[in-house]
Amino acid sequence: MTDHVTIVGAGPAGSMLSILLARQGLSVTMYESRPDMRTTDIWAGRSINLALATRGIEALREVGVMSEVEEILIPMMGRLVHDDGGTSMQPYGSRPHEYISSVSRTALTSILLDAAEATGQVEIHFNMRCRGVDFEANTLQFTGTVSGEASNVAFTTVFGTDGSASAVRNALVEVNGGRVDLEPLVHGYKELTMPAGADGGYQIEREVLHIWPRRDFMLIALPDLEETFTVTLFLANEGPTDSFEHLASGGDVPGFFEEHFADFAPLVPDLADQFTTHPHGHLATVRTTGWAHGDRAVILGDASHGVVPFHGQGMNAAFESCIVLDACMRDHPGDWATAFAEFEQGRKPDTDAIADMAVANYVEMSTSVVDERYQLRRAVALELDRLWPEQFTPRYAMVMFNTIPYAEVQRRAALQGEVLERLTVGLTDIGEVDWAAAERMVSELDFNQASDTGA
Ligand SMILES: Cc1cc2nc3c(=O)[nH]c(=O)nc-3n(C[C@H](O)[C@H](O)[C@H](O)COP(=O)(O)OP(=O)(O)OC[C@H]3O[C@@H](n4cnc5c(N)ncnc54)[C@H](O)[C@@H]3O)c2cc1C
């Protein structure tokens, strides 16, 4: 064991983890391949935001930055669904605190980086890309992204928080026999910006997450503090029509938006320009085994458990993983090999569960939200939660407004889904629900039975 550790990757996970490790009394050196986002516009004019929910908030509170983060949040009370020329609101929950918040990725990470440096124990080196790890020579191999110079840096324990293409992970699985399963999604994404209106204000309603669900593709928009919206188009990567491939090879971009998103298209005057110049991102679920190598290395965040963004949980889960790892290390002072092994064993069922739920949520967002049967089930779920909150919590609320372990959420949601199915089969209106039967079924839900996760 050592009192100096190294982190590779100063994104959300790395910057959060550096504070936790500093609080354990460790001195931390962190390497990041990009320039310092606090002084350089690394997103080249794009304003990228994320949905922050309870798991992330709990972690931010734990490292003492939540009051600063509050200042940069925009609450989103529900989904505003744009369909058939009209809109309808679907609240995220039934209680005042049940909402999610839009937050700038850069602003949030900057707060964490400042807090990390303020500990006096975290030193950050930017523009340093890790190429690999030599576990025999105990060195990390870097290339300076500005200087182009290669260098080797000695390390004793390295934490890999270098995202979904993690170099640390790739070196790790070579020495520990772990596996990396990348499940690419057939859909990719492109981020666009909806500018402020002529009066300088938001062009569409501010405190909601806008969705234009179109079954095989969808558009979402999250508010930014600058009175703009970050808009993301999720669309098939390939295909003869309605795909990034088609639109990039001569397809009619304005025509595509006018046909499918008629109320949105006029709000972004340079839509075609943005579409051509902004990158097309790919999406994948990353599942790995072999998160650690003795007490020498461990990976977390997107490096070990990357999820598709349809539950808005990737960063939230990465933050939660930092807290879980910190607790394991505190439980086993002086024995990090055990701490890291326990971390993987305890956390992997949860990260696998959120990976599944995130993929399933794509169908919910792109298709189900406009399906009458889904809407009925959702209305009944919210009512069951209102009537018997101790026994029934909708799955969305368990993921977003709770810290119940994800694997346990998945198990409870499956049981609750059966209740909803039985209660609503053949019905078209919530007024037809048999509430006496509902009370009986809900009281029979026994979440205390032994679960797979032991949670
Ligand atoms: C379109 C989209 C929307 C999303 N929306 C949400 C949302 O609403 N809510 C949510 O919770 N999550 C969301 N996510 C997921 C979220 O962005 C990630 O889960 C989160 O950023 C993971 O944090 P991380 O620190 O593990 O990895 P990253 O954010 O990928 O950070 C890794 C860091 O390591 C650096 N790095 C990479 N390679 C190297 C290297 N070789 N050497 C040195 N440094 C390196 C990178 O520059 C980066 O700074 C979304 C993702 C996408 C793609």
DSSP secondary structure letters along 247-266: HHTT--HHHHHHHH-TTTGG
Q: How far is the CA of 139 from the centre of ligand 1 (A)?
A: 25
> Beta-carbon neighbour count of residue 347 at 10 Å?
23
Nearest residue to 246 via CA among 217, 220, 222: 217
CA torsion 321-323-328-333 (nearest 10°) is 140
Residue 267 is given by DSSP the state G
Sequence-ordered list of residues with C-beta below 8 angstroms from that of 373, at least 6 positions apart, any chain: 424
Q: What are residue 109's DSSP bridge partners?
A: none
- Amino acid identity for residue 17 in this structure: L
To test the ligand 1 pocket, which listed residue (124, 209, 315) has its Cβ within 8 A of the most ligand atoms?
315
- Closest ligand 1 atom to residue 302 Cα is 26
Distance between CA atoms of residues 67 and 413, nearest Å? 33
Give the pLDDT of residue 48.
Answer: 86
Give the pLDDT of residue 72.
Answer: 97
- Amino acid identity for residue 343 in this structure: F
- Closest ligand 1 atom to residue 191 Cα is 1
Q: How far is the CA of 45 from the centre of ligand 1 (A)?
A: 18
Q: What is the spatial order of strands in the sheet that 139-144 belongs to?
A: 128-134, 139-144, 150-154
- Which residue is closest in CA terms to ligand 1's atom 31? 11
Cα 429–Cα 433–Cα 434 angle in degrees, nearest 5 = 165
- Amino acid identity for residue 293 in this structure: H
To test the ligand 1 pocket, which listed residue (17, 20, 33, 143) has its Cβ within 8 A of the most ligand atoms?
33
Q: How far is the CA of 12 from the centre of ligand 1 (A)?
A: 7
What tokens were used for 42? Answer: 């690394």
Give residue 368's Cα distance to chain centre.
21
* CB-defined site of ligand 1, < 6 Å: 8-14, 31-34, 50-51, 129-130, 161-163, 167, 189, 232, 281, 301-302, 309, 312-316, 318
Distance between CA atoms of residues 436 and 16, nearest Å? 48
Per-domain boundaries in the chain: 4-73+102-182+284-361, 185-281, 371-444
Distance between CA atoms of residues 154 and 137, nearest Å? 8
Which pLDDT tens digits describe the chain residue by residue (455 residues)? 579 999 999 999 999 999 999 999 999 999 999 999 999 877 654 558 999 999 999 999 999 999 999 999 999 999 999 997 799 999 998 888 999 999 999 999 999 999 999 999 999 999 999 999 999 999 999 999 999 999 999 999 999 999 999 999 999 999 999 999 999 999 999 999 999 999 999 999 999 999 999 988 999 999 999 999 999 999 999 999 999 999 999 889 999 999 999 999 999 999 999 999 999 999 999 999 999 999 999 999 999 999 999 999 999 999 999 999 999 999 999 999 999 999 999 999 999 999 999 999 888 777 777 788 888 999 999 999 999 999 999 999 999 999 999 999 999 999 999 999 999 999 999 999 999 999 999 999 977 654 433 33
Encode burial over 417-431: b for 16+ CB neighbours within 10 A, e otherwise. Answer: eebbeebbeeeeebe
What tokens were used for 94? Answer: 């039934």
To test the ligand 1 pocket, which listed residue (48, 50, 211, 286) has its Cβ within 8 A of the most ligand atoms?
50
Q: How far is the CA of 302 from the centre of ligand 1 (A)?
A: 6
Give the pLDDT of residue 180.
Answer: 97
Strands 4-8 and 27-31 turn out to be: parallel
Q: How far is the CA of 122 from the centre of ligand 1 (A)?
A: 20
To which CATH superfamily is domain 4-73+102-182+284-361 assigned? FAD/NAD(P)-binding domain (3.50.50.60)
Q: How far is the CA of 104 from the centre of ligand 1 (A)?
A: 13
- Closest ligand 1 atom to residue 307 Cα is 19
Distance between CA atoms of residues 446 and 444, nearest Å? 6
Encode burial over 59-71: b for 16+ CB neighbours within 10 A, e otherwise. Answer: bbebbebbebbee
Region for 16 from its dihedrals, namely left if φ exceeds 0, alpha if ψ lies in -120 to 50, beta otherwise = alpha
Sequence-ordered list of residues with C-beta below 8 angstroms from that of 75, at least 6 positions apart, any chain: 99, 100, 101, 102, 207
The Cα-based distances of 267 to 83, 199, 221, 263 in angstroms read 16, 13, 12, 8
Query: Where does 248-396 show beta strands of DSSP type E?
Result: 280-288, 292-293, 297-299
Give the pLDDT of residue 44.
Answer: 54
What tokens were used for 277? Answer: 């110049």
Give residue 90's Cα distance to chain centre.
21
Distance between CA atoms of residues 287 and 304, nearest Å? 6
Percentages (nearest 5) of helix, strand, coil residues in the chain: 40, 25, 35
DSSP string of 120-181? TSEEEE-SEEEEEEETTTTEEEEEETTT--EEEEE-SSEEE---TT-HHHHHHHHHH---EE
What tokens were used for 328? Answer: 């394991």
